[in-house]
Structure 1
Amino acid sequence: MSHTAHIRSHRKPRRSASSLAMRAGVAGGVLSTLAVAGAAGSANAAEPVTQTLELPTLTADLATQAAQSADATQQAAANYQLQAERDAAAAKAAKQAKADLADAKQKAAEAKKKAEEAARKDAAERASRSTTRIALTADDTSGSTGTSTGTGTSTGSSTATGSAAAVISFVKSQLGKAYVSGATGPSAYDCSGLVQTAFKQVGVSLPRVSQDQSTAGTQVSLSDLQPGDILYWGSAGSAYHVAVYVGDGMFVGAQNPSSGVSEHPLSYDQPTGAVRVL
């Protein structure tokens, strides 16, 4: 036996045909796969790539914060609206106050004007009474019949009888009571209210106001007065004051708020004229 028979040969063994065929097939498959991949890559490179972005999902905290922000925005809007309404109301109130002030000033001016006119009228009436008193005094004569009053004015009978006595008794019983404009008794009177109520006691119905009472009966001279005659101040038909002549040169009337129902001599405030209804 050769001494080299047990040494393995360094030559590679021959592969079988089947093994070679298998390797060739695998290589072909790999090359095919690479070709397909290359084709797909070329196709993808030619077409635009569409990328989808996913929005983050709101968590519970983010939802709460969004709701609070919405509430705050709504509250702020409500506050702005409320402030606007308050501003509008304040502006309206200021405008109304300005109008009221102007109206009050106008009324005050009108009242002042009326007061001044009343004062002028009163002064004119007083001047007229003084002039009338002087004229009557000058016209009186010492030969007149009746009782002298001490002022130059003579009167007739000083003794009241019948209905006249009742009228005089009534007005004297009201002495000391208050003067209230428009009052007709029993606790207060104005001038025409006292005269009307006095004559009502004897069944004589007189008008309510002094202007009408000054023409209610027969005009008589101041030099021929009798108890129960109605004295008036001013012109007949436009008299501003009346009273009752009670005799002896005296009269009773509701004069004014300071003196009330009181008795005075004719010289206290000389009347303009007189009427007789009894």
Structure 2
Amino acid sequence: MSHTAHIPSHRKPRRSASKLALRAGVAGGVLGTIAVAGAAGPANAEPVTETIEMPTLNADLSADLSSAVAASAEATQRIALDQELQAQEDAAAAKAAKEAKTAKAEAERKAEAEEAQRKAEAKARADAAAEAAERASRSSERTTLSASAGSSSSSDEDGGGSSYDSGQATGSAAAIVAFARAQVGDAYVMGSTGPNSWDCSGLVQAAYRQAGIELPRVSGDQSSRGTSVSLDNLQPGDILYWGSRSNSYHVAIYVGGGMFVGAQNPETGVVERSLDYDRPSGAVRVL
């Protein structure tokens, strides 16, 4: 054999360059082939090729994996929806409980207000009824006393009446005293002349009218009428005054027994009091 004949080398040729190719599949399967090609050192060396194959997922496994991924995503979405619905239900329940509590408190407050109003109305009706009964009693008393006073006055005119003393009023004085006492408990109202409220001079004027005597309207003019009398020599029906006689600021009626009746002030109304309660400045006798 000629020494120039081509004899394949048994040595593994040196690789001067390498090539790598990777092919991957989708849908769960991966197919890879790596090819390595090397050229021999000498120009006339035969190339050596090595092939490595990667495992491949078949179509059934890929489909199962896709289904599992889709099912997992659907389950996650369903859990999220369930949690959102539960949160909405909890919020709605809390809101309903709060509204129910508010409605209950409002109903209780309204019921209490209505009960208080009913009690107030019942009390007002009872007070009105009691006041009406009291006024009716006073009216009856006034009628009886006026008739009695008229009879006594007639007796005096005929000469059958008794003289005055410190504790018993007769004749015209009895009518004045009876009327004044019948107004005890009425209200004091500045400028009022009855029949259920008075000021001091309005009461004195109305009382004297029962005896047929007209007095001026104001206290200063009333205390200027008649004659002055000592506080130690008073008789029922005398007019008591506070201040000077010509410029008094308050008047009342002496009713006997050391007592007087007067419309004192808005706090007390018409009262019967002892002379010591508020000592008058003087007195006049008009009868």
Relative contact order, CA 8 A, sep 6+: which one is greater?
1
Normalising by structure 2, we get a TM-score of 0.42
Normalising by structure 1, we get a TM-score of 0.44
Greater strand share, structure number: 2
Greater helix share, structure number: 1
